[in-house]
Amino acid sequence: MSLPRDGGCRCGAVRYRMNAEPFVVAHCHCRDCQYSTGGGSAVVMIAPRDGVEVTQGETTAYRVEAENGNFVTRSFCGTCGTPLFSDLSGSPALYGVKVGTLDDPSAVTPAVHAWTVSAPAWSLPDDGLPRFERNPQG
């Protein structure tokens, strides 16, 4: 799929556009992603922060302290609750975008499993993708 990629929340109040390719697409199994999805993982694109623009509406945010002492701000639609973005204080140039919020989520494919140290056994499929106990490095 070519750029730009558009997406938004379930109710349509928040829309965004991605103008940059993600660095990686990952199944993230951290506890925060489990809470935000109500499942075993979230599928997240890690993209350049300046390549993602909210084009309509405003998000609501919730900030938590990460295991390493940095902060993760999770942005979602305040109307329908759709999780949209993750902003990492320790990596301000990066932005996490939830793949399921793309207008065409089939256009990207996860490449890794991250934060497997927190994954419930039932959420780790035997799909052959590389696994990282925490964040992939490099």
CATH of residue 64's domain is 2.170.150.70
Question: ∠ CA(80), CA(90), CA(130), 5° rounding?
Answer: 80
In a domain, 3, yes or no: no
In a domain, 128, yes or no: no
Cβ atoms 10, 82 nearer than 8 A: yes
Rounded CA-CA distance 23/15 in Å is 21
Q: Which amino acid is at 27?
A: H
| Number of domains forming the structure of the chain | 1
* Residue 26 domain boundaries: 13-119
Backbone angles phi, psi at 35, to 5 degrees: -65, -40
In a domain, 7, yes or no: no
State yes or no: pLDDT of 47 exceeds 80: yes
Cβ atoms 89, 70 nearer than 8 A: yes
State yes or no: pLDDT of 83 exceeds 60: yes
* Mean pLDDT across 14-32: 94
In a domain, 1, yes or no: no
pTM: 0.90
Q: How many CB atoms within 10 Å of residue 116?
A: 18
State yes or no: pLDDT of 80 exceeds 80: yes
